[in-house]
Structures are given as C-alpha cells and as structure tokens.
Amino acid sequence: MRLAFVGLGKLGKSILKGILEKGFLAPEEMGVLGRTYERSQELAAPFGLRPLRPEELAQAERVLLAVQPRDFPPLAPLLAHPGVGYISIMAGVSTAVLARRLDNRRVVRTMPNLAAVIGESSTALTATREAREAGDLDFARALFATVGDVYEIPEHLFDPFTAMSASAPAYLALVAEALADAGVKMGMPRALALRLAAEALAATGELLKGRHPAQLKDEVASPGGTTIHGLHALEARALRAAFYEAVEAATKRGHELGEAE
C-alpha cells in the first residue's frame, strides 16, 4: 500500500481524483481510514480503495492526513507508526507538532486549496530533513502536481500562504456575489448577473497570468470612462484595506491554530 488516506472530505476526494485521473497511483495501491470501519468501507467503495482499520496504517508507505485540525490531537496516537511517512493537509499544524504528536520525524506539511477540484490548486510544501531524505517530499511534490501547481516555501510563510491562497476562493466568491448583487440592483436578472460575475473572474485570472495587475487595470480603465469612475468608488470604500485586513486576520488565525497544538 503506497498511500493511505486518513479522512476523505471534499479536498481529500479532489486530491484522490487527481491521483487517479493522472495515473499517479492505482486504486489497489491506496487505502482509506474513516471514523469507523463501516465508514472506511463507505469511503473506499466508490474508488476501489482498500478500507482500513487504524492498525493497518503500519502497512502503508505513506499516510495523507486529511482530517480537521481540531480532530488531530486525539487521533494522533491511533495513527502513529514508526516506519511510515506522513503528509498533512491540515491548516495551522506545523511540522514540529506533527512530529511530536506522531512520534515520527518523517512529516511533510502541505496546504492545497479548493481549486484542486478542477486541477488548479496552488499547493505549498515543506518538510523535515528526515522526510526529505526518505523521499517523502519528492513523493508529495509529484502527488500534488496532479491537482495543480506546487510551491516549496519556508514554513514561516505557511500561515500567510494559507490566508492568501488557500482562503482566496472564499474571498473571490464574495467578490463575485457582491458584483452580481450590484448588477441586480441596476436591473439585471440575477441568473445573468451571477453568470457574468463568474465569467469575469475566470477571464481575469487568465489575463493576469501574463500581466501585472496594475497593467491590466490600466488597460481596462480608459481616461474619463466608466471603469475609472467605478475604481474611484472602490478606492473610496477602502477595498485594498479590506483585503489587507482579511489576509492579516486569516494569518493570525493560522498562528492561533498552531499555538493551540
């Protein structure tokens, strides 16, 4: 068994689907552990994985921890095995905490985002020396490449990365909803407004791949035109400051989650 999943929520399933679609691993090379063995069977069946009991994790080369951070401390003693490498997608849980609770220094910390559902995640990686030497970091890098781009970054940047990148779909969904509501206010049918807002965000993302944001803004905002008047209104409402505060607040919460461990 090359990889065992502990938990299989929305993000875990997205990662699993990427693995299967890209042929990185075959179903028979993977297992899944749920809260109970019956739950393990329910999670495993749709994908052809092996349902697991906690003691069977020792048979895996590596374990992907996809549970909520708050659930990890009581689970850790059941999941700990000396000959296994661990890959975590839990927000705020440092490599030091992972190593201490699992009594194992082979740990890789990662932070993907929900765009893994469409193969467009940005995933941060960092690892202990022991995990690097055992090939766990290389394995994790290849694994997460199946669902998007991968960035190896220093661990002290994980909380800002989480606050900016992993949380970004929620921020931008709020922007899309607000933009659509504004269109409805001006008389546009809601279904059309929502579709236009979503298409605008998707197209803007593509355009930004080859441009600095300021360049794109200047290309759209012609002198004395509608866009520059709209931008003035946004600046008057301190849109930039709101994003500064959002990323700062989310970063601080990441620190708090880590300190709680």
Residue in 144, 142, 141 with CA at minimum distance from that of residue 127: 141
Q: 114, 89 in Cβ contact below 8 A?
A: no
Query: Alpha-carbon distance 168 to 175, whole Å?
Result: 10
List residues bridging with 110 in a β-sheet.
Answer: 125
Instruction: Using alpha carbons, select from 126, 205, 122, 203 the residue that is nearest to residue 165.
Output: 122
**Distance separating alpha carbons of residues 253 and 260, to the nearest angstrom:** 10
C-alpha angle with apex 100: 97 to 101, nearest 5 degrees?
85
Extract the annotated binding site.
66-69
Please list, in sequence order, all residues whose beta carbon lies within 8 angstroms of the beta carbon of residue 26, skipping any fewer than 6 positions away: none
Bridge partners, residue 51, by sequence: 32
Give the C-alpha separation, 153 to 80, whole Å.
26
User: Residues marked as binding for NADP(+)?
Assistant: 66-69
CA 33-38-43 angle, 5° bins: 50
Return the biggest CA–CA distance within the chain. Answer: 68
Task: Say how far apart CA 216 and CA 254 lie, in whole Å.
Answer: 32
- For residue 61, give the DSSP letter: S
